Amino acid sequence: MKKLIFSLSMFLAYGATNAQPILLPNGDFENWTNLSYDNPDKWDNSNLYTVYDYGFANVSKVAGATSGYAIRLETKVSGMDTVGAYFSNSDDPTAGEGGVPYTFQATNFHGAYRYNITAGDTAWILLKFKKNGNVISDTMYPITGSQSTFTYFTFPVPAMAQAPDTLIVAAASGNVNSYPKAGSWLELDELSFSDNIMNVIFPDGDFETWTNFNVENVNDWINYSLGEVTKTTDKYSGTYALKLVSKDDGTGYIEEAAVTLGAPNQMPGMPFTKTVDTLTGYYKYVTTGTDMGGIDIMLTDGSGTPIGTGAALILQPLTNYGYFELPISASTPPAMLWVTISSSIASGTATDGSTLYIDNLRLKNSPNSVGKLVNDNGAFTVFPNPAKDVLYIKPAKTINKTATVNIYDMAGRIVGKHELHSNLGGVMQVQTAGYTPGTYQYEIQNGDVIMRGKFVKE
């Protein structure tokens, strides 16, 4: 699935200025975070996005019920996001898509589990049997409470009028129709089926085969893509550069590699208030086809509404590092600057293996604009989450000037503005009783320190 943030539809002329350039947050791509994790073979699972979006794996292997390994699903927290874990042998288990061949007409489902499910949360195991593409049996088994040691279970399977040809198995560490709770975990092993006469082991239901991966995430940039995003010593300056590679997903569809300026579980971009500037940097681009890379820029106001039409630069094939400039302009002062970089800009011309190298991104003529983004996730404490009637915001230390707090809905529209003063005891109450239940984003700014995150209104 394509995840390119903005379309690249225009090529803008170069500009020039003599002002002192300012490096974008990790615009030289020197800072990376390494993550080593084990991934279960033959199972789709939440690691496929949490590793890149949040920098952690919430599916892992643990010691099995009697020997070998079991699978562990754990709901984890990143900033203001609570991220549930899952595994499945289907692309979309709730919709009944995919699955694996299976013809045994089971009447019982067996396995071993242990768990600790946070109060108010429910873990689930889902089974769907299909015949000729149609679901003929659909069951969800809820799991609540706590079980500290592996215990064997037997759950009934609803009677099927005919033998199936396909089976879908999935499990989740927490609520699937509402928000999961932090800290819930579920471990499973030795999954099998029986018909009261014979017991049939489910393929890969013992979770014995795992592959270890080492992933390096680029700091201050969000990886939304399914292409390859890595660091490389083939750089223009410093030690590393950013390397983006378009990849065939196995079906002939080419997934571009793309990153956007920002940090996970925060609103993308960086504060930016100038009406005229120029993004500069160095790149090279290698492809065997007619592919092209691209850089896309969008300016927004405080409510998240785009200002102007943005700016885009098409990156043609180039063997050695070359310099580029991308002018930025707006009719009114913006609040935020978004930058997205992609290894392929259009599916029609995307080529497997197209590789974009990027280094040394700077704002050319902005000595008075916001330069290095100061994100301090410890500057304020925001609680509770979820919130019912009141959201409290407390600074880690006494603030010397007014802090502003903006609340946005998930469409980027501002729904509340507040001010926090040190003479109020350092704690502000944001009344949320009138908000529609759902997820909201907040932005707290005090001087050059900014903190962003999300909260849930119950």
Question: What confidence tier does 10 reach under pLDDT thresholds 50, 70, 90?
Answer: very low
Q: Given a cut of 60, is residue 346 above it in pLDDT?
A: yes
Nearest to 365 by CA among 325, 415, 332: 325
> Of the ranges 7-16, 50-59, 67-76, 78-87, which one carries the lowest mean pLDDT score?
7-16
Q: For 233-262, what is the mean pLDDT?
A: 91
- Cα angle for residues 23, 56, 24 (degrees, 5° grid): 5
Most confident of 87-96, 205-214, 437-446: 205-214
Residue 151: predicted pLDDT = 97
- SS3 (DSSP) at 337: strand
Q: Given a cut of 90, is residue 441 above it in pLDDT?
A: no
> Of the ranges 75-89, 134-148, 338-352, which one carries the lowest mean pLDDT score?
338-352
Q: What is the mean pLDDT of the chain?
A: 84
Most confident of 201-210, 370-379, 407-416: 201-210
Q: What is the DSSP annotation of 407-426?
A: EE-TTS-EEEEEEE-GGGTT
| Sign (positive or negative) of CA dihedral 221, 226, 232, 236 | negative
Q: For 213-222, what is the mean pLDDT?
A: 88
Q: What is the DSSP annotation of 125-180?
A: EEEEEEETTEEEEEEEEEE-SEEEEEEEEEEE----SS--SEEEEEEESS-SSSPP
Question: What confidence tier does 265 reach under pLDDT thresholds 50, 70, 90?
Answer: low
Other C-beta atoms closer than 10 Å to the C-beta of 374 total 16
Distance, in Å, from the CA atom of 327 to the CA atom of 415, rounded to the nearest integer, reads 32
Residue 244: predicted pLDDT = 96
| Sign (positive or negative) of CA dihedral 85, 89, 91, 97 | negative
Q: Given a cut of 70, is residue 429 above it in pLDDT?
A: yes
Q: What is the pLDDT of residues 17-52, one digit of tens each?
A: 344 578 899 999 999 988 899 999 989 999 988 887
Q: For 258-278, what is the mean pLDDT?
A: 82
Could you check whether the bond before residue 386 is cis, i.e. omega within 30 degrees of 0?
Answer: yes
Quote the pTM value: 0.62
Structure tokens, 387: 């919130």
> Of the ranges 104-118, 201-215, 424-438, which one carries the lowest mean pLDDT score?
424-438
Q: Given a cut of 50, is residue 201 above it in pLDDT?
A: yes
Distance, in Å, from the CA atom of 382 to the CA atom of 113, rounded to the nearest integer, reads 35
Structure tokens, 178: 């509402």
Q: For 270-281, what is the mean pLDDT?
A: 88
Question: What confidence tier does 370 reach under pLDDT thresholds 50, 70, 90?
Answer: very low
Q: For 325-340, what is the mean pLDDT?
A: 88
Nearest to 236 by CA among 30, 421, 391: 30
Question: What confidence tier does 376 reach under pLDDT thresholds 50, 70, 90?
Answer: low
Give me the percent of the chain exceeding a pLDDT of 70.
86
- SS3 (DSSP) at 305: coil
Structure tokens, 354: 């197209």
432 with 387: CB under 8 angstroms?
Answer: yes
Residue 281: predicted pLDDT = 94
* Structural domains of the chain, with CATH: 22-31+220-363 (2.60.120.890), 37-210 (2.60.120.890), 380-457 (2.60.40.3080)
Give me the percent of the chain exceeding a pLDDT of 90.
50
Residue 9: predicted pLDDT = 25
Q: Given a cut of 80, is residue 452 above it in pLDDT?
A: no
Q: For 220-238, what is the mean pLDDT?
A: 89
Nearest to 25 by CA among 236, 336, 412, 445: 336
210 with 8: CB under 8 angstroms?
Answer: no
Question: What confidence tier does 95 reach under pLDDT thresholds 50, 70, 90?
Answer: confident
289 with 343: CB under 8 angstroms?
Answer: no
84 with 143: CB under 8 angstroms?
Answer: no
Question: What confidence tier does 347 reach under pLDDT thresholds 50, 70, 90?
Answer: low
